[in-house]
Structure 1
Amino acid sequence: MNFIRNPVNWAFAMLSMLMVPYGWSQKNSTESGYKELFNGKDLSGWYTYQRQPEPTSKVVGLKMEDGKYVEPIGLNKDPLGVFTVVELDGGKVIRISGEVFGILVTEEEFEDYHLTLEFKYGEKRYPPRENAKRDSGILYHSFGKEAARGGVWMSSVECQIQEGDTGDLWCVQATTAKVNVETDGDGKFKYNPSGPLQEFDWRGSRYCQRSFDYEKPYGEWNTLDIYAFGDESIHVVNGIKNMHLKDIRYYEADKSTPLTKGKIQLQSEGAEIFYRNIRIGPISKMPNL
């Protein structure tokens, strides 16, 4: 099931906008055309890719030179249990340990959709980010091969999930987007719907800060929604919009093309994090948020 320009799915879209509040039941999500990306049992419908581990991790049989790993763990191999399903807070959730930089990727690609999920930071942190903010991210409109950026990520647009920074934009390898911005005292760009449009791309200024931090205190579950329609997307944290991308594009052989679809990646990036209630459904227009 995907949502690539399917007129039948559009019929469900208005229902989804009217009927789907935060925390809806699985029954309601199914009836309104939404699909559970996490079945509550295992990682069916997803695949994994992991780059080379840090020297502090022990992976038998993986090539090392001068005390460092020099080859990736690769596709659908998980010797350290980076991506698992565990019991937490009364139900099954996806646990991403963070020990190795890696991605959990949908087998399907999607277009014109509302993606919603809940996340909660864990306790563990690993090199090279053992002293940094807990970090993960949703990389959407993902395309091409794994390891296009940083030896692990696919080309995509990222909705950052990081302590205090959830909703930030990162353009990940061969992608660009425009955002209405203001600049803070340090000259950094920050989303402001009343500001001028600024282009961000993977070759230079590829990062834009969300408008405000709407995360809940550490230890609580947060809700994240991503609305993607045409060449635009919106990031919503705990019910409040804090980022709006326009004119999302990708480059291939120096030619830019609107980027409107792709797979979804969940990042493992040095910190333990949990995900649950991951659902996606079609929309026929961008909501007025």
Structure 2
Amino acid sequence: MKNRLARRILVLVFAGCISFLFSDAQKLAKGWKPLFNGVSLKGWKTYQGKPADSWLVKDGTLYNKGNKDPKTLHADLITEKQFGDFEVAFDWKIAPGANSGFLYMVTEEFAASYHSGPEYQLIDDKGYPAKLEEWQKTGANYAMEPPMVDATKPAGEWNHTVIKKSKGHIEHWLNGKKVVAYDLWSEKWKEQKAAGKWKDTPGYGMSERGHFAIQDHGGEVWIRNMVVKEP
């Protein structure tokens, strides 16, 4: 009986592995490439080479351990490669009360990654200890466009994000729903920038190419299945 049960479990595990590999193969066949290999930080570095030990590979995820240890050194993590137009997708979850973000078009000549790169907000909307403005909520183009709908899953559950950039048109997707759409460098965008948080940040959103960055904001965050497609 025990042997029969063990064989059945092995069959189910094997079938699951084949399904996972087939799914990955399908993605790669359609032009998707992995951004994170699940075993190391190859292809990534800290912003401006700043010292940090907050980023780890844990159980196949890209993990930020947050402020559990006060001696932890923090820095944003960025891709070594830069991207122009792209479609990037990943799964993520966040600890209760935590805050992070995924940035794009990031360059390294400024003091912080968000001085150049627009940010797809990742945050615990319900449990964050301070009141959030709409443009601070998950899926927002931080400090610019609030999400059109609430498509979030609670802290501790996996969410799926897609970000698309094509000739200046940007879309943020969350769990299968489009939550933000805007056009870089349009008159509306310029007016928003001039009137908002980035009015004194001339480099914000101005580079046509840049790194992806994951914000180290002192909270635990897990990311997996990170892939990118370029035209």
TM-score (norm 1): 0.57
Aligned match of 1:162: 123
**Uncovered stretches (5+) of structure 1, i.e. residues with no partner:** 1-22, 50-73, 124-132, 171-205, 284-289
Q: Mapping of 1:167-186 within 5 angstroms? A: 167-170=139-142
Q: In 2, distance between residues paired with 1:257 and 1:271?
A: 25
When residues 117 and 255 of structure 1 are mapped into structure 2, their CA distance, relative to the original with a 3 A threshold, is closer
Structure 2 residue 79 is the aligned partner of structure 1 residue 106:
yes
Q: After the TM superposition, which of the residue ranges 137-146 and 234-243 deviates more from structure 2?
A: 137-146
Structure 2 residue 101 is the aligned partner of structure 1 residue 137:
yes
Equivalent position SS for 2:25: helix
- CA deviations over 1:267-289 (Å, ceiling 9, x no partner): 11021000000000024xxxxxx
Equivalent position SS for 2:178: strand
Structure 2 residue 158 is the aligned partner of structure 1 residue 228:
no
- CA deviations over 1:214-270 (Å, ceiling 9, x no partner): 11123211000000011111000001001012134899x979996432110001102
Equivalent position SS for 1:265: strand
Structure 2 residue 23 is the aligned partner of structure 1 residue 86:
no
Structure 2 residue 21 is the aligned partner of structure 1 residue 47:
no
Q: In 1, distance between residues paired with 2:106 and 2:204?
A: 16
Does the 8 Å contact 1:248/1:260 carry over to 2?
no
Q: In 1, distance between residues paired with 2:29 and 2:202?
A: 43
Higher helix share: 2
Equivalent position SS for 2:117: strand
Task: Name the aligned partner's letter for residue 86 of structure 1.
Answer: K
**1:147 Cα offset (Å):** 2.0
- CA deviations over 1:137-185 (Å, ceiling 9, x no partner): 011011232524xxx6451111111123211112xxxxxxxxxxxxxxx
Residue 209 (structure 1) aligned to one of 143, 146, 156? 146
Does the 8 Å contact 2:115/2:203 carry over to 1?
no
TM-score (norm 2): 0.70
Structure 2 residue 214 is the aligned partner of structure 1 residue 277:
no
Structure 1 vs Structure 2 CA RMSD: 2.9
**1:98 Cα offset (Å):** 2.7
Aligned match of 2:209: 261
When residues 272 and 257 of structure 1 are mapped into structure 2, their CA distance, relative to the original with a 3 A threshold, is closer
Q: In 2, distance between residues paired with 1:255 and 1:43?
A: 28
Structure 2 residue 184 is the aligned partner of structure 1 residue 247:
yes
Task: Name the aligned partner's letter for residue 104 of structure 2.
Answer: Y
Structure 2 residue 182 is the aligned partner of structure 1 residue 218:
no
Does the 8 Å contact 1:46/1:106 carry over to 2?
yes
Q: In 2, distance between residues paired with 1:93 and 1:228?
A: 25
Report percent identity of matched pairs: 27
Give 4+ residue runs of structure 1 displaced > 6 Å after superposition. Answer: 253-257
Structure 2 residue 1 is the aligned partner of structure 1 residue 28:
no
Higher strand share: 1
When residues 76 and 31 of structure 1 are mapped into structure 2, their CA distance, relative to the original with a 3 A threshold, is farther
Aligned match of 2:95: 122
Task: Name the aligned partner's letter for residue 106 of structure 2.
Answer: S
Aligned match of 1:17: none
Q: In 2, distance between residues paired with 1:274 and 1:255?
A: 29
